[in-house]
Amino acid sequence: MSNRAVVGINWGDEGKGRMVDLLTDSYDVVVRYQGGGNAGHTVVNDRGRFALHLLPSGIFRDGVMNVLANGVALDPENLCAEIRDLRSRGVRVSPDNLSISSRASLLFPWHRDLDGLEETRLGDGKYGSTKQGIAPFYADRSRKKTLLAGELFYPEEFTERLRQILEYENLVLEKEYGARPYQEEEILRWVEEYCVPLKPFIRDTAKLLRDAQSEGKSILFEAQLGALRDMDGGIWPFTTSSNTTSAYVPVGTGVPGIALDDVTGVVKAYSTCVGEGPFVCEWTGGKADRLREEGGEYGAKTGRPRRVGPFDCVATRYGVAMQSATEIALTKLDVLSYMDRIPVCTAYVLNGERTEDFPFPAALDGALPVIEYLEGWKEDISSARTWDDLPEAAKRYVDFIENAAGCPVTYVSVGPERDSIIVRENRRKEWAEERRAAAAGEADDD
């Protein structure tokens, strides 16, 4: 039995879905514990190419129970569409392989409206929301102005509370934004269409997870977005409205004290960022267009072109610390094969001084990247399946990232397909030994 969290180290879109799809083989339960349908995991496997927004990536594996835990923004409309889409492509989704927490809160249509209205009101100062209602949802959840999925089993109380909430939401829609209010009948029809069909999936998932623990089952926790979008540690206010870090697992699943044996931090071989906010390494012009095209860097949810730039050691080291990552899964190394020499950002210059520490968010706008270059390998590496299949320059690039991040790279992904991966079985052990030897060497020098 062992538990693992797969989390993003950077701005999101690192390839977490691809890693979870690969790793689910060894896990009995796969859990989404935070966030909503505002981002997307892209999974390419023998059944085709899928963009998952809310469903855990374990949905493609037989015998895996997938859980949407209490910490997620449960968007019934999107979830029903996602289930319909998967079923139409032959993927089984039933209460036997999907459980929804009775304590997950429901995202209502007004959350999406309020998200869009606020972005429009902000104009140039917008947050770059995907307008999926996530910020208004989490705000309402904090002020207890939404309903739990389990409340659907108490129809009278549900309708009464819905009425009270609707009164409040209509006040905000009409008086703050001059927008159209909702009628009670309209929302009750919406509940009937999108929430009632989910009832067979709704259960006490905290108990399910506790039972899985005591039965010795292994659990994989899947996060959305990355450390730099974390509400507490990220690039505020351009963060998401939930905690994207591994530390949130016990709260977002309702299983206090649950142990994580591994925290796999997913890191892309270069930087990408979708939406607004400071992005120190950002490239523009032709070289950005080339990297974006080579990497297919367009949002899984919105199709928006992602902002791109070189690998950022400062942000990655911070992300590794924030996630308490025990290992790194490095993705998209194959994308860099076209470069003669590969730029990396090794430090920032802030107020004329070099720093390797990730600055306070408000200071990021004034930070400049220090760029160094590593030799490129200029050959197709997408068929590499072992460490030794990689050209020496590619190995050096991975070694560089490992040292810059201060964390062993145990997986190197060279393509989107399930098997386009190099697994470095012993790397964690070797890394620990190398650290010990280095520390002993330093002690001798003293």
Interface positions with ligand GDP (CB under 6 A): 8, 13-18, 39-42, 44, 296, 300, 331-332, 334-335, 413-416
Is residue 3 within 8 Å of residue 258, measured between CB atoms?
yes
Decide whether 102 or 264 has the Cβ nearer to ligand GDP: 264
Cα separation of 343 and 119, whole Å?
Answer: 35
Nearest to 133 by CA among 252, 243, 241, 17: 241
- C-alpha–C-alpha distance, residues 31 and 221, integer Å: 5
62 burial (CB, 10 Å; 0-12 / 13-18 / 19+) is exposed
Cβ-based nearer residue to ligand GDP, 244 or 253: 244
For the bound state, the minimum distance from the C-beta of residue 436 to ligand GDP, rounded and expressed in Å, comes to: 31
- To ligand GDP, the closest distance from the beta carbon of 20 in angstroms equals 8
Find tokens 């069909």 and name the residue.
197
Give the integer Cα–Cα distance in Å for 391 and 369. 28
Q: How far is the CB of 246 from ligand GDP (least distance, A)?
A: 15
Please work out, in degrees rounded to the nearest 5, the angle formed at the alpha carbon of residue 174 by the alpha carbons of 172 and 176.
55
Q: Which residues are catalytic?
A: 13, 41
Side chain identity at residue 264, one-letter code: T
Determine whether 437 is exposed, middle or buried from the number of CB atoms within 10 Å of its CB (0-12, 13-18, 19+).
Answer: exposed
Peptide bond into 256 cis (omega under 30): no
Residues β-bridged to residue 344: 311, 372
Report, in Å, the least distance between residue 15 CB and ligand GDP.
Answer: 4
Q: How far is the CB of 234 from ligand GDP (least distance, A)?
A: 15
* Tokens read off for 419: 């098997």
Could you say which DSSP state residue 44 is in? E
By C-beta, is 32 or 103 nearer to ligand GDP? 32
Q: Report the run of H or E that residue 156 belongs to, with start and end.
A: helix 155-171
CB of 122 to ligand GDP, least distance (A): 25
Distance CA 430, CA 298 (A): 36
